[in-house]
Structure 1
Amino acid sequence: MTLSKLVIKNITRRRGRFVFTLMGITIGIASFVTFLSMGGSLKSEINRESAALGANLVVTPIGSCAYEQVSILTGEILPSNITMSEVAKIRSIQGVNAVPVLTEKSAINNKPVSLNGIDVVQMMKFKGWRVAQGSYFSGHDDPSLVVGSAAAELFKLAPGSTVTVRGQQLTVRGVLQETGGRDDLTVFLSLPQAQRLYNTGDTVSYVAVKVDDLKNLEGYIQTIRDATNLGVVSDKQMLKSVLSIVGTVNITLQMIAAVSVLAAAFGIVNTMLTATYERKREIGILQALGARQRTIFTIFLLESGFYGILGGAAGVVLGLLVSLTAAPYISQNAFTSFVKGSGGGLIDLKTVAGSILFSALVAVAAGVYPAWRAARLSPVEAISYE
């Protein structure tokens, strides 16, 4: 009998113990991969939404924190504390193209949807949108709606459809072409109309800014701060700040998952120690047939490693399935809306191989002591065991 066949026969000898030990490492790796997969989706979506924002600078109320910067990328509601007079001061700065945005929420068919009040003329130029169906806003204070492609599909909206916003029925004028960003899931209306419906006066949530000279970003930031006393952050600073928060959360979740992998390792230790005691007579026979201590040690180490490889592979598959299945049901908020939007499941082959290797190394490490105990048995002690 070859060594590989002996190893497989030994670990599957007691099927119940084999299954439960394997489940321990599988669940541990699955939780690790799930958090890793969703974390990868989160970072990918943050980068994509930052690019889709199309702004070099973002102007927010003074004292805004990183959480509010996340909300800008996710379309969450933000405080409307910036006045139109402050927007006018920003627009008066030479080399600056500023577009105000009012972020609100509404519901269509009892499902939440992001709603943005925009300067319809400036935003069209700012983002370079194209209309797929119907037409764009006819003017600055057009009372109709324009919806993103994904929102139109989700809520079955088309030009001529009506949507109730704050008790008022508004007609869908057009559907935008797919942009690949958060705009696809957003409903747009003119800024004056949004301010009236939500009673925000002449205030907006933030201002997206493009500048003519990218080499002078710091100069523009200081000029805007001096003119308005508002918070200003560059797209790179915002991206770094948001990724830092997400990275911290992701590491914490992976550490929690690592604890479950560690618990599974102790399960392997227990299984292999039990096997050592149960198979003393078998070990003695192998030694009597000429097997050296190194051979006995290798057999037990391979058995624990087999648990790791098989459990790691099963855990990777299970983890990816969980991340893909769970993402659509995650409650929407400033962090998880990224995962919800992307569907999760972002993981490369290198990470898959790394997860399986990590599982195998943990299992092998867990099997070192039982293997050492088995190899240390004397032939007389082993063969006389009953």
Structure 2
Amino acid sequence: MNHGQTAPEDRARPLSVVLAGGGTAGHISPMIAIADAVRRSRPDARITMVGTPSGMETRLVPAAGYALETIDRVPMPRRLSADLAKLPGRFSRAVRQAAEIIRAAEADVVVGVGGYVCTPMYAAARRLRVPIVIHEANARPGLANRVGRALGGSVAVAFASTPLGGADHVGMPMRREISQLDRAGRRAEARAALGADPQERLIVVTGGSSGAASINRAVAEFASSGRAAEAGVRLIHITGRGKEVLDPAGSPLSAPGYAQRDYVDGMETAYAAADLLVARSGAGTVSELAATGTPAVLVPLPHGNGEQALNAHDLVSAGGAILVPDDEFTADFLAQTVAPLARDEDRLAEMSRAALTSGVRDADEQMAARVIAAAEAGRGEGRSRA
């Protein structure tokens, strides 16, 4: 094949897109959103998703209607050990597995969103001269995506402040039920689904799908003391599955102005219902709050590398949310700051407008366009997949 020409058989077959990512919902959700957007643009596109056998992707990807291929999980040892000596062999094996998947799919492009699976996939794609497109969801870039950029990948980021040279800011790909949410239009329906009165000043608290013990403790103390009712607010507490808040007698906590549930099927319901939302500042949550214009109080995880505080930076700077350290999020803080804010309609309206100004609602479409362009350009280069 001559450079700059596309073989007739390449022109005839559908685009083949391989997407890699996993480990957490923060990686998997944008990967699925990108795949869905590619499918909307190119209904005949062949989509292959790749993860590891032990990640959440083994459940979430098939549930979204996509088949999943897996390669070995190759974590980077954090200290000198026998595992470090085994790393080169393990990594080489994972790269071979990745190359087999890319060849079998006749991939036109490899898309990575982060996680252990991505580094071998990037290495294999580079070896096979398949274009690499990367989406970095966090304000602090992960190792895999930094490697992918070094291997020549085209990079897009969810947050404008992410320090990844040469990256384009596109926002966070997300489900269209969230990105296109009409909060005002869905308010009555969402409140009915949560059992809340349309006229109540409603605070929704969530620690994410796995809950947040420190947030749950503060909310339980605030509610059990009767201060929610005294403050004139209603609080719906999404505790996380298996994280039910109990009273001293061991029964589910019940108090005036307070209700708990372990799960909400679709966070768009919480965003539409809430006057104010209290949450951790995972990248997905922060991006969804901005896209939907939901005023928020963000409580970053107190451990790790400080990533969650960085994720919140752009939204807080824009005025769409306030940030409170985990150890300062107490029952008193709820009474003195959160409850009054939930009753301040003018302030909430300002926060909503600020959030919408910083939010991006078409990141999935932007990423799909990048992926398709890279795939078509790669075909034109006439690379070898030997």
Which TM-score bucket, shorter chain as reference? under 0.3
> Hey, which of these two has a bigger chunk of helix by percent?
1
Instruction: State the structure with bigger RCO (CA 8 A, min sep 6), 1 or 2.
Output: 1
Compute the TM-score of the two structures, normalised by the length of structure 2. 0.26
Larger radius of gyration: 1
Compute the TM-score of the two structures, normalised by the length of structure 1. 0.26
